[in-house]
Structure 1
Amino acid sequence: MICLTCKNLSFQIICKDCQTNLLTPSFHKREIEDGFFNYSFYSLSELENLISSKYYFHGDRVFNLLAKLSFAKFASNFTFTSQVFAIPIDDHTRHDFSHTAILAKHLNSQFITPKYNSLKATNIVKYAGKDLEFRQKNPRKFEVTNITNQMTILCDDLITTGATIKQAKKALEKKNNQVLFSLTLADAKL
């Protein structure tokens, strides 16, 4: 196999050297609503080609590796007074896997439990490359099932304007869930 980033031979989809030299996460914080924060591990410029792998058959391997380097490390250091559910944003299966479900899976720990199929968009509009005005005029219209009165964390691959996360948060709150914060792999504004 060839490493996706350096093109050298590798036993993994991204070689150990690239994981160490290019994919060491840093922690970024962005306030997207008054008192509500998103935390990300990379800037979009660091991961743009890797995030686009979600559209290809090998994307599950890329997302598992990225989540192991970031989300899993976060989960191992996270403590809370009660159980928290990690909710992947719109974890529909596309291209034989759900990239947001993969991210949530790697949050599984003593204090965090992934909860799948809980937050689905009923309007499957593509936001890639669209501005805030387009996103506001075409809301995702999230439907929440099988979760009420819980502490939650939202999971997504990318934050651009924050519109999707705000819509997801509002949908969960309508079912009396508390959303502590959101986690994304990358932030487009960094």
Structure 2
Amino acid sequence: MKCLSCETFSLNIICKTCQEKLLRPSFHKRELADGFYNYSFYSFTEIEEFLTSKYYFHGDRVFNTLGKLSFKKFAQNFEFEQLVYSIGIDEHTRHEFSQTAILSKHLKSKYIKPLYGKCKATNIVKYAGKDLEFRKKNKRKFDIKVSNKSIILVDDLITTGTTILEAKKACEEKNNQVLFCLTLADAKI
């Protein structure tokens, strides 16, 4: 198979050279609400071609690679005084996989346990390319199936932060403590 980036022969969907040269994560922090932060590993422009793979059959392999390079390394360095649960925002499947579930899976550690299918929108609203006003008028209405837990929210991309704040609010209504959110990329950096 060919590397998606450089098109050289590779046994990986993204060759090791491209992983080292193009996908070295950095850590970005954005405050979404008073004292509540989103942390991301890349800017949107750095990995745009890889993020859009979620619309194709090979996206699960791309997201597994990105998850190993960023989320897994984060989990190896994360410590907390109690067990924390990672929850993918709106885990729905495209081409038989959920990108947020894949990312959450890579957070598994001594301190983090992924939970699946616990945060799903009850309505289908497509936010891609929509402005903040549209997002505020058309809320996702999340159904949260977990309570009384410490949570890390997981998503692939942050643009306005509206989806993350909606998920946080829905989680808190079920008596969960949302510590922060992790995303692969931030569209504003």
TM over 0.5: yes
* 1:49 aligned partner: 49
Report the alpha carbon displacement of residue 65 of structure 1 after superposing the two structures with TM.
0.3
One-letter amino acid of the structure 1 residue matched with residue 55 of structure 2: Y
In 2: Cα distance, 1:40 partner to 1:46 partner: 12
> Residue 116 of structure 1 aligns with which residue?
116
- Counting matched residue pairs gives 189
Q: Deviations over 1:93-123 (max 9, x none)?
A: 2211000000000000000000111110011
Tell me the equivalent position of 1:176. 175
Secondary structure class of the residue paired with 1:64:
helix
One-letter code of the match for 1:168? A
Q: 2: distance between equivalents of 1:83 and 1:9?
A: 42
Residues 72-107 of structure 1: per-residue CA shift (max 9 Å, x gap): 000000000000000100111221100000000000
2:40 counterpart residue number: 40
Helix, strand or coil at the partner of 1:172: helix
Root-mean-square deviation (CA, aligned residues, Å) is: 0.5
Task: Quote the residue 1:24 is aligned against.
Answer: 24
Task: Give the whole-Å Cα distance in 1 for the aligned partners of 2:125 and 2:135.
Answer: 9
Q: What amino acid does structure 1 have at the position aligned with 2:181?
A: S
1:180 alignment partner, SS class: strand
Write the letter of the residue equivalent to 2:104: A
Q: How does 1:1-190 map to 2 (within 5 A)?
A: 1-145=1-145, 147-190=146-189
Q: Tell me the distance in 2 between the aligned counterparts of 1:117 and 1:66.
A: 21
For residues 117 and 59 of structure 1, the distance between their equivalents in structure 2, rounded to whole angstroms, comes to 19
Shift of 1:124: 1.1
User: 2 CA distance for matches of 1:94 and 1:51?
Assistant: 13
Letter in structure 1 aligned against 2:54: K
- What secondary structure, in the 3-state scheme, does the structure 1 residue paired with 2:169 have? helix
CA distance in 1, matches of 2:140, 2:2: 37
TM-score (norm 2): 0.99
CA distance in 2 between partners of 1:2 and 1:93 (Å):
25
Q: 1:14 offset after TM fit, Å? A: 0.3
TM-score (norm 1): 0.99
Q: Which consecutive residues of structure 2, in runs of 5 or more, have no partner in the other structure?
A: none
Question: Aligned partners of 1:70 and 1:124: how far apart in 2?
Answer: 29
Counterpart Cα distance in 1 of 2:31 and 2:57? 34
The alpha-carbon deviation at position 7 of structure 1 amounts to 1.1
Cα deviation per residue 1:103-162 (whole Å; 9 max; x = unaligned)? 0000000000001111100111111111100100110000111x1111000000000000
Q: Distance in 1 between matches of 2:111 and 2:183?
A: 19
Q: Which runs of 5+ in 1 are unaligned?
A: none
- Displacement of 1:182: 0.1
The structural deviation recorded for 1:8 is 1.0
Identity of aligned residues (%): 67
